[in-house]
Amino acid sequence: MIVAVDGPAASGKGTIARAIARRFDLPHLDTGLLYRAVGLNLLRWGGDPESEFSALRACDFSQMDFADAELKSEAVGGIASRISVYPMVRQALVERQRQFAGQPGGAVLDGRDIGTVIAPDADAKLFVTARPEVRAQRRYEELKRFGLDVHLADVLLDIQARDERDRNRATAPLRPAADAELIDTSEMGVEAAAAQAIAVIERRLHVSI
């Protein structure tokens, strides 16, 4: 069973995807971390985010610790959003994601183009969203928990800029798959959002545990 969970930054898609993975005992991949890892490499190596070639060279995760808190920083997130428009970078990471999705038993993947590009034949597709102001508040609180010095107004501006880039990029723009179920988490807590997503999957696939 392959489950695709797409949506903009800080919509709750990662939390929902992890809850689905636990419920159905499936491996989970946060595909956004791959792009953030490229962004962090560029930041640390002094690479140029405006250069597609530099970004492609940064698709090397041999020394990457995916638990590194800096991966969640706004600086890295901004670079990740910028380099995600590059076709060569996306191609370099597509195969890694498809291999994960295609493993025996299936998987849960969350990102921005899972249901449209990475796993268009996924058994269940969700598109998770929320109002920009709500998402900014969530991201702000997350960054503060990581001990990062941020301002809510700056986080909101970053969220809005990232939405604009993601929706208007030429390669794999952010958009719901035609057969995706929309979940708006603006007025939902974590447990309610996860429960609704799991109920959607059970209804669509006639599965439960």
Angle between helices 32-45 and 87-101 (to 10 degrees): 140
Q: What is the pLDDT of residue 207?
A: 67
Query: What mean pLDDT comes out for the span 54-58?
Result: 97
The answer for residues whose C-beta is within 8 angstroms of residue 73's C-beta and 6 or more apart is 143, 146, 148
Tell me the average pLDDT across 55-65: 94
pLDDT value at position 120?
97
Query: Has residue 185 been placed in a domain?
Result: yes
Q: Is the pLDDT of residue 208 over 60?
A: no
Residue-wise pLDDT for 165-189, tens only, equals 889 988 889 999 999 999 999 999 9
Cβ atoms of residues 123 and 2 within 8 Å:
yes
For residue 145, give both structure tokens: 């928990």
Other Cβ atoms within 10 Å of 20 Cβ, number: 23
Angle, CA of 148, 153 and 155, to the nearest 5°:
50
Q: Which pLDDT band, with edges at 50, 70 and 90, does 103 fall under?
A: very high
- Within 10 angstroms of residue 125's Cβ, the number of other Cβ atoms is 25
* Cross-strand partners of 111: 6
Q: Is residue 24 part of a domain?
A: yes
Residue 98 lies in a domain: yes
The DSSP H or E segment spanning 20 is: helix 13-24
Asked if the structure places residue 28 within a domain, the reply is yes
Give the closest residue to 185 by CA, choosing from 4, 17, 2.
17
- Residue 127 in tokens: 């598109």
pLDDT bucket at 25, cuts 50 / 70 / 90: very high
Asked whether residue 209 is domain-assigned, the answer is no
Domain residue limits at 121: 2-203
For 82, the token pair is 């910028």
Residue 171 lies in a domain: yes
- What's the one-letter identity of residue 140? Y
Residue 187 sits in a domain whose CATH number is 3.40.50.300
> What secondary structure, in 3-state letters, does 90-118 show?
HHHHHHHHHHHHCCCCCEEEEECCHHHHH
Q: How far is CA 98 from CA 3, 28, 54, 167, in A?
A: 12, 13, 24, 22
Question: Is 0.85 surpassed by the pTM of this model?
Answer: yes
* Structural domain includes residue 174: yes
Q: How far apart are CA 24 and CA 154, in angstroms?
A: 37
Q: In what order do the strands lie in the sheet with 107-111?
A: 28-30, 107-111, 2-6, 124-129, 181-184
In a domain, 208, yes or no: no
Given a cut of 80, whether residue 145 has pLDDT beyond it is yes
Q: How many domains does the chain have?
A: 1
Q: Cα–Cα distance between 88 and 90 in angstroms, integer?
A: 5
pLDDT at 209: 53
Give yes or no for a contact between 118 and 31, defined as CB atoms under 8 angstroms apart.
Answer: yes
Q: What is the mean pLDDT of the chain?
A: 93
Tokens of 175: 């958009």
